[in-house]
Amino acid sequence: MSRIIEKAHELEQAIAESEELQNLLYYRKQLIRNPDSFILYNDYKNLQRSLLSKKNNNQEISPEELERLKELQELLEKDETIRLLLESEERLNNILTQVNTIVAKALAASETQ
């Protein structure tokens, strides 16, 4: 087996066992147990995806949509379960971004040689 594939499997295991992923999974379970928080979270994520899609397609985002996003964000900040879930998502995303940066650095270095 290629050394790269071996290391990828090690990374997979490290991510699966990481505190960051375990926290994320825990807070997702907590969210599912709270119907009001679950609906609020899904509404926010759906609106966020919709607005991102509009932005990527150079479509106009209405003031009403921006206001709704702001309202949802304010509600999210008051919901401890959602706040902790979003923090967990951010921590895991930061780690994955760092991993991608490291891989990209290795690829860029190999192109300059």
**pLDDT tens for each residue of the chain, 113 residues long:** 799 999 999 999 999 999 999 999 999 999 999 999 999 999 999 999 999 999 999 999 999 999 999 999 999 999 999 999 999 999 999 999 999 999 999 888 877 76
For residues 54-67, one letter each, b for 16 or more C-beta atoms within 10 angstroms of the residue's C-beta and e for the rest, the string is eeeeeeeeeeeeee
Q: What is the pLDDT of residue 111?
A: 73
CATH number 1.10.540.10 is the correct assignment for the domain at 3-110: no
Q: Distance between CA 17 and CA 24 in Å, rounded?
A: 12
- Backbone φ and ψ of 112, nearest 5°: -90, -5
- Domain residue extents for the chain: 3-110
pTM of the model: 0.80
Torsion of CA 81, 83, 86, 92, to 10 degrees: -90
Q: What is the pLDDT of residue 80?
A: 94
Q: Distance between CA 44 and CA 110 in Å, rounded?
A: 41
